[in-house]
Structure 1
């Protein structure tokens, strides 16, 4: 098996504004694993609020490259166990795990869906993200969109803006990226109209969720508070829903385990994404038959997507029919 990797940049179609800041581009690390003329792909993205250092990832890959290339072709579950011994950051672990699933499926001539016997019909539609901005500009974007579901970013709570969004009679979620205060959360979860929002994502900074009440009018959804499977039990009294991102939890292998455990706890589950190319979005798409919400618009927001595979069109998940994750570079 051969390992290759390359630093690239993803350019956004327009400035993306969230509570953490404004972004025009994202740095990304593309991983390629190849064997017998088949190539599998994975990626991870530099997200500053996750403190991701891609240059550090490159150094780590150079350190472990010989060990990875010496591995025989084994089942992806076993390959993941090998990867766990390399002490990798979850984002880098995810890129390698996804690349290997893609490669293994192509070698076996079977899709990830087939290999894991996953549902692929009647998939939940994805939302599209509306950046932080003037409320009337946000509303205009929603009204002019061909998508049916929306995730509206906000920086802090503006009660008047909340009321304007609720009046739209659209499928809308709120994502404050941890910018709500305790008082904001109390107002939201005690307001019956807030039930109209499909969910309210990561209201407060990491670890400050004790004020949240699961059995309230707000469908609180954990994102940064829910990094991996270990967080699920602790968050139970506070959150009804969780956002599982393949990159955040360490890959497709742990994502499958996390979904299984979350269902046992009766969480509502979303498959979400970062700013990602079709390489990353294809990995998320294969899990959408297992979940309640989908937010996989990452590749739709960038101008220079460098891959093809599964994709999202006006919110509808279009699964690749090719082996593995169906990823090919353009």
Structure 2
């Protein structure tokens, strides 16, 4: 097996504004695992509020390259156990895990869905993100969009804006990226109108969720609070829903485990994404038959997608039916 990797840059179609800041581009690290003329791909991106340093990831890959290349082709879940012994950041672990699933499927001539016997029909539609801006501009984007589901970014609570969004009679979620105060959360929890929002994502900064009441009117969804399998038991009294992102939890292998446990605990589940190319989005798409919500618009927000595979078109998940994760570089 051969390992290659390359730093890339993703350019956003327009400035992406969230509570953490404004972004015109994202740096990405593309990972390639190859064997017998088959190539598998994985990806991770530099997110500043996660303190991701891709240069450190490159150094780590150089350090472990010999160990990875010495590995024989084994089942992906066994390969993941090997990766766990390499002391990798979850973002980098995810890139390698996804690349190996893509490679293994191509070698076996089976898709990830076939390998794991997953459902692939009647897939939930993805939302598209409406970044922070004047409420009239946000509403204009929603009304002109060909998508059916929307995630509206906000910074803090503006009750007038909330009322305007609720009047639209659209499928809308709110994502404050941890910018709500305790008082804001109480207002949401006591206002029965907020049940019209499909979910309210990451209202408070990490580990500040004690104010949240799971049984209130608000469908609170954990994003940054929900990093891995261990988070699920801790959050059960506060959140109805969780956002699983492959980079947060370490890839497809742990995501499958998280979904299984989250179902046992009666969470609603979303597969989400960062700003990613079709490499990362293709991996997320294969899990959409297992979840309640989908937010995989990352590749739709960039202007220089360097891959093809599974994709999202006007919210609809289109599976390529190709082996592995179906990823091909342009």
Shorter-chain TM-score range: over 0.9
Helix, strand or coil at the partner of 1:157? coil
State how far apart, in whole Å, the 2-side matches of 1:276 and 1:195 are. Answer: 30
Distance (Å, rounded) in 1 between the aligned partners of 2:27 and 2:103: 24
Does residue 244 of structure 2 align to residue 244 of structure 1? yes
Question: Equivalent residues in 2 for 1:62-141 (5 A)?
Answer: 62-141=62-141
- Local SS of the residue matching 1:206: coil
Q: Which runs of 5+ in 1 are unaligned?
A: none
Q: What is the match of residue 261 of structure 1? A: 261
The corresponding residue for 1:166 is: 166
User: 1:207 maps to what in 2?
Assistant: 207
Report the counterpart of residue 194 of structure 1 in structure 2. Answer: 194
Q: CA deviation at 1:320?
A: 1.0
Report the CA distance between 1:113 and its aligned residue. 0.2
CA distance in 1, matches of 2:247, 2:111: 20
Rounded to whole Å, the distance in 2 between the matches of 1:328 and 1:247 is: 20
Where in structure 1 do 4 or more consecutive aligned residues deviate above 6 Å?
none
Give, in whole Å, the separation in 1 of the partners of 2:103 and 2:285: 17
Mapped partners of 2:195, 2:216: distance in 1: 9
Q: How many residues align?
A: 330
Question: Scaled by the length of structure 2, what TM-score is found?
Answer: 1.00
CA drift at 1:12:
0.2
Following superposition, the deviation at residue 260 of structure 1 comes to 0.2
User: How far apart in 1 are the matches of 2:258 and 2:25?
Assistant: 30
Instruction: Name the structure 2 match of 1:150.
Output: 150
d(CA) in 2 for partners of 1:84, 1:59: 17
- Distance in 1, matches of 2:237 and 2:74, equals 40
Residue 123 of structure 1 and its aligned partner are, at CA, apart by 0.1
Q: CA shift at 1:247, angstroms?
A: 1.0
CA distance in 2, matches of 1:320, 1:44: 21
TM-score, normalization by structure 1: 1.00
Deviations 1:106-148 (A, max 9, x none): 0000000000000000000000000000000000000000000
Kindly state the Cα deviation for residue 25 of structure 1 after the two structures are TM-superposed. 0.1
Q: Give the aligned partner of residue 292 of structure 2.
A: 292
Residue segments in structure 2 that go unaligned for 5+ positions in a row: none
Report the CA distance between 1:75 and its aligned residue: 0.2
1:43-67 Cα shifts (integer Å, max 9, x gaps): 0000000000000000000000000
C-alpha distance in 2, partners of 1:74/1:236?
36
Q: Deviations for 1:63-103, whole angstroms, at most 9, x for unmatched residues?
A: 00000000000000000000000000000000000000000
Counterparts of 2:18 and 2:101, CA distance in 1 = 32
> Superposition RMSD on alpha carbons, in Å?
0.2
Provide the rounded CA distance (Å) in 2 between the counterparts of 1:84 and 1:237.
Answer: 30
> Residue 278 of structure 2 corresponds to which residue in structure 1?
278
